[in-house]
């Protein structure tokens, strides 16, 4: 997987954290640099850590499923993408917008960081199945991209409210589905 594909993957994975960051900004009303860095740091850190864990878990059983690894990667990324689209089109807001929670305590941020990065664990497994992936570059891109989009999301939410939350989830879902399809088609020899 090349740099461009990894960067697009990083953007797709960061969209859940971006959507929740918008909600945080909405709750904070006036986003300051400390709040932006706090949210970005928590989300970026966990979005980098989880794919690393997933990658190493995936390498443990990659040999056993080598003949179908591209299908596994496609299935995981496809399911994550469909889930993001489903959440975007559901009538309920599943992030913190509902209760406008501006709390940045360790307990609150830890729970939110884990919740928004569970899909990144599956992405890490998919990266192991895809093969030929530089995991260190991948997690650096995912972490930095998530940090940046989350910090920006806090500011965006404080200024514009929740107008971009659903659009971010839709974009993330489509990106993950597209990348899963790309991995599958490359392994089937349809794409070079």
Domain ranges for the chain: 3-92+102-187
Alpha-carbon span 125 to 52, nearest angstrom: 9
Q: Does residue 34 have a pLDDT over 80?
A: yes
Whether pLDDT at 191 is above 80: no
d(CA 164, CA 125): 29
Per residue in 103-154, pLDDT (tens digit) is 788 988 898 888 888 888 888 988 888 878 899 999 999 999 999 999 999 9
**Position 10 confidence tier, pLDDT thresholds 50, 70, 90:** very high
**What is the mean predicted confidence (pLDDT) over 68-89?**
78
Contact by Cβ (8 Å): 6, 183: no
Confidence of residue 70 (pLDDT cuts 50, 70, 90): confident
Query: pLDDT value at position 41?
Result: 96
- Give the per-residue pLDDT at 12: 87
pTM, entire model: 0.74
The number of residues making up the chain comes to 192
Most confident among 43-47, 85-89, 169-173, 174-178 (mean pLDDT): 43-47
pLDDT band with cut points at 50, 70 and 90 for residue 96: very low
Residue 99 clears pLDDT 50, i.e. is over it? no
Res 192: pLDDT? 65
Confidence of residue 30 (pLDDT cuts 50, 70, 90): confident
If we measure between CA atoms, which residue out of 177, 171, 185 comes closest to residue 82?
Answer: 177
97 or 110, which is more confident? 110
């Amino acid at each position: 997987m090349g740099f461009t594909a990894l960067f697009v993957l990083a953007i797709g994975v960061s969209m859940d954290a971006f959507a929740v960051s918008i909600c945080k900004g909405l709750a904070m009303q006036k986003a300051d640099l400390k709040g932006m860095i706090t949210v970005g740091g928590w989300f970026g850190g966990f979005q980098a850590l989880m794919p690393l864990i997933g990658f190493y878990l995936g390498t443990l059983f990659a040999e056993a499923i080598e003949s179908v690894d591209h299908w596994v990667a496609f299935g995981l990324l496809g399911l994550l993408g469909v889930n993001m689209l489903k959440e975007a089109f559901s009538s309920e807001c599943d992030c913190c917008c509902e209760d406008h929670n501006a709390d940045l305590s360790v307990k609150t941020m830890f729970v939110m960081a884990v919740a928004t990065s569970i899909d990144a664990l599956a992405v890490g497994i998919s990266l192991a199945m895809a093969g030929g992936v530089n995991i260190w570059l991948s997690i650096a891109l995912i972490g930095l991209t998530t940090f940046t989009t989350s910090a920006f999301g806090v500011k965006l939410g404080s200024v514009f409210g929740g107008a971009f939350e659903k659009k971010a989830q839709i974009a993330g879902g489509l990106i993950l589905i597209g990348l899963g399809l790309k991995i599958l088609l490359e392994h089937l020899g349809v794409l070079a």
